[in-house]
């Protein structure tokens, strides 16, 4: 009998691209040193492991398909429920990513504890910490619940066999997806083959049992989730936990959500007793603002359905090198360069001999275009070394022609300013027609940046 030869090829661990020869750089995704050798034994009668439903089905008209409303399980953490779209959907697979030490495991351990109180038994599979280490953390976080079960195991088959006999869990946590593996696969833990197979089996487990599963994943130094992109495609929800070790706050965003919006944001604070939600984020971000300092302005930034008041700071100084520096934190530096070009072209300002630094305080990252006018206000204030009024805020997008364009949800932004006692706001003229007179706040409308500068610089 002729034995089938084993097939050998090289697989990119980032994108799954196959090559018969090893390559230093993947021609498909451009990643370096990402190829690993894979030996596929053709003599084995392999089944399709990725077929999540082996029952043969026939197509049917969409009008005849019965609607199934999935149950949402509230976590009792308002900020987390907001980002998820109202709670954890039963049978869903959630991927939580974030830098090491950011608080991923702390947050999910608190969620598992709350679930065990409200919905029954929860299972925490730890591939990184021992059971005793998790107990020490749970004691510190006051998460010592009898229904919270810990399994410190890296073999996925142990989890699958256990769930097949115990299907009464309300939540399963896998910490982390990069450490859990299937021993029968000829691949190291954390590589493409292992992650795809483990995730596919977890998808099947969640869908067949109705138990929601939370996966914890690491991120690269660029801020992207470590491992293959296929992982993000397989799960229902991808959450990103942001922040750094130098600020107490943490931001939670949804990069993907099959059961809700991806525009929502949750704000948390890291404390000794764990992660706590921030009830009033706007006050949190601007409470340490210095008075009568040039280069500082407040703007109401829109993050999903929520308005956050953030402080934009700028520092314009004489250039230390022949090539002036453009540094930005919390906003894309290319956006800063673009707005400086608009100022030079439309107002005749000269920044060729100055270093321009920009910062969004608190470490928050803001991408919405309504931030443009605040950036210009901060830069001009520092450039002329004139402080702006402490009770002033500005909102608006700036075009390349210097025009100030309208932004969305202007009334909601102004109401947030009024809550924190701001008395003056500059808005785009395009928004002014929709705003009624308000005795509590003075509203100035501008059409272009020339008119804007005349109002704020007196």
Report the distance separating Cα 395 and Cα 1, nearest Å.
Answer: 78
User: Per the annotation, does 98 bind a ligand?
Assistant: yes
The closest of 414, 455, 456 to 436, measured between CA atoms, is 414
User: Per the annotation, does 6 bind a ligand?
Assistant: no
For residues 380 and 344, is the Cβ–Cβ distance under 8 A?
no
User: Per the annotation, does 100 bind a ligand?
Assistant: yes
Q: Is 311 in a helix, a strand, or coil?
A: strand
Q: In this structure, how many other beta carbons lie within 10 angstroms of the beta carbon of residue 295?
A: 24
Q: Which residues contact 135 (CB under 8 A, 6 or more apart)?
A: 144, 150
The closest of 256, 387, 362 to 310, measured between CA atoms, is 362
* Whole-angstrom Cα Rg for the chain: 26
Both tokens of 290, joined, read 């210095």
Report the distance separating Cα 75 and Cα 111, nearest Å.
Answer: 6
Cis status of the peptide bond prior to 176, with omega within 30 of 0: yes
Strands (E), 278-398: 296-303, 306-318, 326-329, 354-360, 392-394, 397-398
The closest of 388, 391, 390, 377 to 440, measured between CA atoms, is 391
Report the distance separating Cα 72 and Cα 388, nearest Å.
Answer: 47
Report the distance separating Cα 227 and Cα 189, nearest Å.
Answer: 11
User: Per the annotation, does 105 bind a ligand?
Assistant: yes
For residues 13 and 228, is the Cβ–Cβ distance under 8 A?
yes
Q: What is the length of the chain?
A: 458
Q: In what order do the strands lie in the sheet with 306-318?
A: 326-329, 354-360, 306-318, 296-303, 392-394, 424-428, 442-446
Both tokens of 109, joined, read 């351990």
Phi, psi values for residue 443, rounded to 5°: -115, 120
* Partners of 277 in the β-ladder: 268
User: Per the annotation, does 101 bind a ligand?
Assistant: yes
User: Per the annotation, does 99 bind a ligand?
Assistant: yes
Q: In this structure, how many other beta carbons lie within 10 angstroms of the beta carbon of residue 454?
A: 10
Q: Which residues contact 121 (CB under 8 A, 6 or more apart)?
A: 147, 149, 168, 169, 170
- Please state the residue numbers annotated as binding site for ATP: 98-105
- Please state the residue numbers annotated as binding site: 98-105
């Amino acid at each position: 009998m002729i034995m089938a030869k084993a097939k050998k090829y090289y697989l990119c661990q980032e994108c799954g691209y196959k090559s018969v020869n090893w390559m230093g750089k993947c021609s498909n995704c451009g990643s370096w040193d990402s190829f690993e050798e894979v030996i596929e034994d053709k003599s084995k009668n392999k089944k399709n492991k990725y077929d999540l439903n082996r029952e043969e089905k026939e197509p049917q008209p969409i009008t005849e398909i019965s609607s199934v409303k999935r149950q949402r399980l509230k976590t009792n953490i308002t900020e987390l429920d907001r980002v998820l779209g109202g709670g954890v959907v039963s049978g869903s697979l959630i991927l939580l990513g974030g830098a090491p030490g950011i608080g991923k495991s702390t947050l999910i351990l608190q969620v598992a504890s709350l679930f065990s109180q409200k919905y029954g038994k929860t299972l925490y599979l730890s591939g990184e910490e021992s059971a005793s280490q998790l107990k020490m953390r749970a004691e510190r976080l006051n998460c010592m619940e009898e229904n919270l079960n810990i399994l410190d195991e890296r073999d996925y088959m142990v989890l699958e066999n256990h769930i097949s006999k115990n299907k009464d869990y309300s939540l399963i946590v896998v910490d982390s997806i990069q450490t859990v593996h299937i021993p029968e696969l000829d691949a190291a833990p954390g590589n493409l083959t292992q992650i795809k197979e483990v995730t596919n089996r977890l998808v099947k487990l969640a869908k067949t049992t109705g138990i929601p599963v939370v996966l914890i994943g690491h991120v690269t130094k660029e801020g992207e989730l470590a491992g293959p992109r296929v992982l993000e495609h397989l799960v229902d929800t991808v959450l990103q936990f942001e922040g750094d070790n130098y600020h107490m706050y943490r931001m939670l965003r949804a990069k993907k959500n099959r059961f809700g919006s991806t525009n929502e944001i949750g704000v948390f604070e890291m404390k000794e007793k764990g992660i706590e939600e921030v009830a009033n984020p706007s006050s949190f971000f601007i409470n340490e603002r210095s008075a009568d300092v040039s280069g500082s302005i407040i703007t109401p930034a829109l993050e999903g359905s929520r308005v956050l008041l953030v402080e934009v700071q700028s520092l314009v100084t004489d250039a230390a090198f022949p090539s002036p520096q453009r540094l930005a934190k919390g906003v894309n530096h290319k956006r800063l360069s673009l707005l400086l070009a608009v100022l030079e072209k439309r107002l005749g300002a000269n920044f060729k001999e100055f270093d321009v630094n920009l910062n969004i305080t608190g470490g928050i990252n803001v991408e919405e275009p309504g931030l443009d006018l605040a950036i210009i206000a901060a830069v001009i204030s520092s450039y002329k070394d004139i402080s702006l009024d402490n009770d002033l805020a500005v909102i608006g997008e700036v075009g390349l022609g210097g025009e100030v364009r309208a932004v969305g949800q202007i009334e909601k932004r102004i109401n947030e300013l009024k809550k924190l006692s701001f008395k003056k706001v500059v808005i785009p003229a395009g928004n002014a027609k929709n705003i009624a007179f308000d005795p509590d706040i003075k509203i100035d409308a501008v059409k272009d940046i020339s008119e804007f500068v005349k109002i704020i610089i007196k």
